[in-house]
């Protein structure tokens, strides 16, 4: 239970990395799905979410889905990736990975080793 609470806390932080319009539209649903996830699914959830965040920022997504009908289909347009967008996505992905490594390292030493 404590483990799942820690994962959900880290996932909420990760969801804050999405662009605001995307986060307003999809974060509640994503969090609801994550709450129902099994422990073995968490690496996939974190990996997919991290890649999706980078993709949203690289594409410069302002998410028109936030203003459209909630059930509307919004196609992803093909836009050229600028050098600045690529650099921003790279820095963001490195920051996310380093943050998750720090959290897992902190969790291991504070929870696992204290339990022994």
Q: Where are the domains of the chain?
A: 2-65+80-115
pLDDT at 78: 46
Over the Cα atoms of the chain, what is R_g? 16
Task: Return the SS3 of 69.
Answer: coil
What percent of the chain is modeled with pLDDT above 90? Answer: 2
Least confident of 4-18, 37-51, 65-79, 94-108: 65-79
75 has pLDDT over 60: no
pLDDT at 115: 56
Q: What is the mean pLDDT of residues 64-89?
A: 57
pTM score: 0.53
Alpha helices in the chain (DSSP H): 2-15, 20-35, 42-58, 83-107, 113-115
72 has pLDDT over 80: no
The backbone torsions φ and ψ at residue 24, rounded to the nearest 5 degrees and listed phi first, read: -65, -35
Can you tell me the distance from the alpha carbon of 26 to that of 49, in angstroms, rounded to the nearest whole number? Answer: 12
Q: What is the mean pLDDT of residues 22-43?
A: 87
């Amino acid at each position: 239970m404590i483990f799942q609470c820690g994962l959900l806390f880290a996932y909420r932080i990760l969801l804050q990395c999405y662009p605001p319009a995307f986060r307003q539209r999809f974060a509640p649903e994503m969090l609801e799905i994550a709450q129902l996830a099994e422990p073995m699914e968490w690496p996939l959830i974190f990996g997919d979410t991290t890649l999706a965040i980078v993709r949203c920022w690289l594409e410069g997504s302002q998410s028109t889905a936030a203003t459209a009908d909630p059930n509307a289909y919004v196609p992803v347009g093909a836009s050229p990736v600028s050098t600045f967008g690529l650099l921003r996505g790279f820095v963001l992905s490195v920051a996310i990975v380093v943050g998750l490594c720090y959290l897992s390292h902190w969790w291991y030493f504070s929870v696992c080793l204290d339990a022994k």
